[in-house]
Amino acid sequence: MKIIGIDPGINATGYSIIKNGRAVFTGTIRPRARLTYKKIGEICKRLESLIGENQPDYAVLEKVFYRKNIRTLICSSELRGAIILTISRADIKLLEYTPAQIKLAITGNGRASKRQVRYIVERTFLDDSKRNSSHAIDAVAIAGTAYRRLKRSG
C-alpha cells in the first residue's frame, strides 16, 4: 500500500510517500512565485508529478481548522481546494484527518506537541538521518495516520 501525505501551506507544502509503513520519499515544495494563484499552480503541478511518478493508492490531507488570521485561512482553503482537485483528477482515494486525530494516531496523545510528533515520526517512519522540514514531518505524520488506520481496519 502506497500513501501520499500532504501538509498544505501556501509558502511551503510538505509531502511524503509512505510504502508499507515506511517513508520512502519526503520533501517540501517551496513555490518561487509571488502571486498566490501562481504559487497554487506550482504546488499542484509538483504534486501532480509526484502522484504520477509514485502511483499512490491513497492521498491524505489534514482537515482545515480555525486560524486567527482570516487571510491565511482563505489562502489555505484555496490551496486545499486545488490540491483536492489534483487528487480527484488522478483518481486516488482521498482521506482527511483533523490535527488531533493525527497527533493521537502518531503519539497516542491528541494534544501532543509538534516536538513529540517529530520525535515519534523520525523513529517510526523515517530510515535516513536527513533533516526534514517541519512541513515534511507533518506530511509523514498525516500519511502515517492513514497507514495505521487502514492497516487496523483490514
- Domain spans of the chain? 2-153
User: In terms of Cα–Cα distance, which of 24, 34, 26, 100 is closest to 10?
Assistant: 34
d(CA 102, CA 109): 9
66 pLDDT above the threshold of 80? no
**According to the model, what pLDDT value does residue 72 have?**
84
DSSP string, 79-139: HHHHHHHHHHHTT-EEEEE-HHHHHHHHHS-TT--HHHHHHHHHHHT--S-PPPPHHHHHH
Q: Cβ neighbours of residue 154 under 8 Å, at least 6 residues apart?
A: none
52 pLDDT above the threshold of 80? yes
**According to the model, what pLDDT value does residue 131 have?**
87
Higher per-residue pLDDT: 64 or 80: 80
Average pLDDT over residues 75-101: 96
CB atoms within 10 A of CB 54: 15
Entry pTM: 0.95
Q: Which option is the CATH number for 2-153: 3.30.420.10, 3.40.50.2000, 1.10.760.10, 3.40.1180.10?
A: 3.30.420.10
DSSP string, 23-88: EEEEEEE----SSHHHHHHHHHHHHHHHHHHH--SEEEEEPP---S-HHHHHHHHHHHHHHHHHHH
119 pLDDT above the threshold of 70? yes
d(CA 149, CA 38): 35
Average pLDDT over residues 4-19: 97
Average pLDDT over residues 121-145: 92
CB atoms within 10 A of CB 53: 10
**According to the model, what pLDDT value does residue 129 have?**
67
Cα 126 from chain centroid (whole Å): 15
Q: Cβ neighbours of residue 114 under 8 Å, at least 6 residues apart?
A: 134
